[in-house]
Structure 1
Amino acid sequence: MTWLVMYLISFLVIAIAHWVYRWRNPKCKGLLPPGSMGFPIIGESIQFFTSHSLQGIPPFIQQRVTRYGSLFRTSIVGQKVIVSTDSEINHFIFQQEGKLVHCWYTESGAQITGPQGFMVHHGDSHKYLRNLALNLVGPENLKQTLLTEMDQTARQHLDHWTALSNLDIKQATEIMLFKLAASKVLSYDEKKAMELRKYYKAFMEGFVSFPLYVPGTSFYASMQGRKNVIKLIKETLNERRSSCKKKKKKKDFLDYLLSEVDKEETFLTEKIAVDVICMLIFAAYETTSSATTLALKFLNQHPHVLKQLQEEHEKIIAAREDKESSITWNEYRSMKFTHMVINETVRLADIAPAIFRKVVQDFEIKGYTIPRGWMFMICPSSVHLSAEKYDDPLSFNPSRWNGQELHPASKKFMAFGGGQRLCAGAEFAKLAMAIMLHYLVTKYKWKVVDEGNIVRKPGLTFLDGFKVQIYI
């Protein structure tokens, strides 16, 4: 009996040792980039999620670049990952969408975005869905419709905020943008929009997490939130179908999608439409509210930049016949320094700490083999904060953008992604920020009451909010 127990223990030890060895030394038809896979299953997730300060390249990335170079391997939330901090490799990967790689998130992110969302569609189907989204947030609709509505919305909320002595501008801007998105997409009034918003709150935490559907985990909370969001959107869709039969249309984005669903030659279904709506609303408020808040933080710390921004907007008002009129599209496009401020803010913000792609075909790059099935993680901060790409990269200096193209992505600027997957809502986000800044440096005054504690873990997190006072 003792012999049998010893045999089983020995077998178990050997099996575990073999498992650990195979985990740490993944099979590859060529030479894998250097790196460590960490512990089995857990990988290096604990280090990846360790919170760190707002400034600088994440320690997780910096330490491994120092040790392994600009291309290394790791394992995060149970997935094998190749990480790139090389701008040339990043640019190459963006150009390989639909060829060597596909847009992807982690397993948790894939489930949260839904089985029919933007991520699972590639090639022509993705192009089609992207064009649908641009019908709502693209430059043409912004110019014709949304600009005026965004302007009115900002002024209404700013007037309301002046009555508050201690305003969390991150949360307030988030709510403002969420209500606007819910109104334009689903024709929700304020009460209905706030009901929907409470289900979205857990989305961000679970995006990059272990896909453990167990109560108490961030992934479980995110999936519960998604379940309730989808339920509410489906109810609205079904109600709309009934009202359409009675010839009562609201002419919002949902109606537009349903008209596309009803076309004879289309792959768009109601299930796809629901997932598209789910992610469009999420994308409309989360990152933009964070960027707007950081812009105020940086402007508060750099009075000379604030003064220069104020001068630009005062000139715009001085040139108007009606000083109280809304911002026009031409005025928005003329805000050169404002766009520099926005670019500099999102460069330093790096709100999306990583951009993921799924490798669908083995390929070689710089002497290394990138295996099919692995995740490829592009790290924007390593480029945005590189001393090789920017002078004094950690400083807030909007004037560094003077004379440079301010709108598209490039090898050294990927705040809105790149390639075919360049963020469709980039112009929406910049317009929302520009409108807020316009009124905050002209019609209103503001002061920071409490900056709170802003950290990355790895996504940007405002632990205590960002408190300001807005007054006339």
Structure 2
Amino acid sequence: MCRKVLTDDVNFKLGYPNSIKELTKGKHDASNSEHKQFRRQIIAPIVGHKALAMYLERIEDIVINSLEELSSMKHPIELLKEMKKVSFKVIIHVFLGCNQDIVKNIASLSNDLYNGLFSIAINAPGFAFNKALKARKKIAKILQPIVDERRLMIKNGQQVGEKKDLLDILLEVKDENGRNFEDEDISDLLMGLLVAGHESTGTALMWSIIYLTQHPHILKKAKEEQEEILRTRSSSEKQLSLTEVKQMVYLSHVIDEMLRCANVAFTIFREATSDVIINGIHCQGRNLPSFWGRK
């Protein structure tokens, strides 16, 4: 059933509940081809080896500092919560290049925003959706001065630097009509990508740790690969390099297997575009989460 819903682009399309539409303001009504084009415009410049090389040093510092902090704790930790914190710090840096004060301000608000995404869209005190709407406004208020400052730098011809973040890219990208994105569009995109990105990455980290813990022989081989890379590192090199990342063949296979076995996204919504009956259920015009019908 899930395969039918997810792979049938004739009778189904991306579809979202009202709570997600209202809180993320994204391209929810775009076709699959439009979504692919949009992803190429926005995401391509911040993924891949070239982008990784730009951010690798800072990512390594964030991860090492976070893990050292966790290892020094004298009490049990909530693994998923802590992994989301790590991924949030990394993503904030890649997206905005922000300092830690801004990270702290946005982090708690992002949790409120995420909790409202899958809630009933009731805008009344006491409901998660109401709290999420307030969080969204506060995040937008934090982001606006950052956008204004970056726009001013571009206007004055100041170089942002070689290491562009997602905000720099959004300020340069033009839509299908050749126009730059408005500030509100940029804020909406950043919030949507920020919430979705750090949640799925944090979940992936959690499952990786769980599976490695459950399979010590796999952990041993992955660790040996890392130790071998360190042994062959030049004495003049102090930071992880892109060349070393490419040498992590076994670890790459471990990550691929984790992604095959685990769900790192809470759900993927699809909407029936025609009269479809699956297992006796009439699906016309319905929003269907990807876990619908899963045993």
| TM-score, normalized by the shorter chain, greater than 0.5 | yes
Alignment map for 1:150-229 (pairs within 5 Å):
150-166=59-75, 168=77, 169-229=79-139
Contact 1:290 1:351 in 2 (8 A): yes
Match of 2:56? 147
State how many pairs are aligned: 291
Gaps of 5+ in 2: none
Q: Deviations 1:310-361 (Å, cap 9, x if unpaired)?
A: 2222233334334964333344344333233323434444233432112233
Distance 1:327 1:338 in 2: 15
Q: 2:225 aligns with which of 312, 325, 334?
A: 312
1:362 aligns with 2:275: yes
Distance 1:111 1:265 in 2: 26
163 and 367 in structure 1: CA distance in 2 versus 1, 3 angstrom threshold: closer
Match of 1:445? none
Distance 2:268 2:176 in 1: 34
Shift of 1:247: 3.2
1:376 aligns with 2:288: yes
195 and 148 in structure 1: CA distance in 2 versus 1, 3 angstrom threshold: same
Distance 1:286 1:235 in 2: 25
Q: 1 or 2 for the larger relative contact order (CA 8 Å, sep ≥6)?
A: 2
Q: Deviations 1:411-438 (Å, cap 9, x if unpaired)?
A: xxxxxxxxxxxxxxxxxxxxxxxxxxxx
Distance 2:22 2:222 in 1: 42
239 and 321 in structure 1: CA distance in 2 versus 1, 3 angstrom threshold: closer
Match of 2:206? 293
Contact 1:294 1:345 in 2 (8 A): yes
Alignment map for 1:245-394 (pairs within 5 Å):
245-250=155-160, 251-261=164-174, 265-266=178-179, 268-322=181-235, 325-363=238-276, 370-371=283-284, 373-379=285-291, 382=294
Letter in 2 for 1:183: H
TM-score by length of 1: 0.54
Q: 1:234 aligns with which of 144, 151, 158?
A: 144
SS of 2:234's equivalent in the other structure is: coil
Letter in 1 for 2:36: K
Match of 1:120? 29
Contact 1:179 1:194 in 2 (8 A): no
Shift of 1:206: 2.1
SS of 2:289's equivalent in the other structure is: strand
279 and 368 in structure 1: CA distance in 2 versus 1, 3 angstrom threshold: closer
TM-score by length of 2: 0.82
Shift of 1:294: 2.9
Letter in 2 for 1:332: V
Shift of 1:212: 1.0
SS of 1:222's equivalent in the other structure is: helix
SS of 2:264's equivalent in the other structure is: coil
Letter in 1 for 2:16: Y
Higher strand share: 1
Distance 1:185 1:322 in 2: 32
Q: Deviations 1:145-202 (Å, cap 9, x if unpaired)?
A: 1333322332333344444334735444333332332233223211112111121011
Match of 1:109? 20
SS of 2:73's equivalent in the other structure is: coil
Two-structure CA RMSD over aligned residues (Å): 3.2
Higher helix share: 2
Gaps of 5+ in 1: 1-83, 387-472
Identity %: 22
Distance 1:340 1:297 in 2: 16
321 and 147 in structure 1: CA distance in 2 versus 1, 3 angstrom threshold: same
SS of 1:119's equivalent in the other structure is: coil
SS of 1:120's equivalent in the other structure is: coil
Choose 1 or 2 for highest CA Rg: 1
364 and 158 in structure 1: CA distance in 2 versus 1, 3 angstrom threshold: closer
Distance 2:155 2:293 in 1: 51
Match of 1:432? none
Shift of 1:380: 8.8
Contact 1:108 1:206 in 2 (8 A): yes
Distance 2:236 2:220 in 1: 20
Contact 1:112 1:223 in 2 (8 A): yes
1:133 aligns with 2:45: no
Contact 1:170 1:290 in 2 (8 A): yes
SS of 2:28's equivalent in the other structure is: helix
Distance 1:315 1:109 in 2: 46
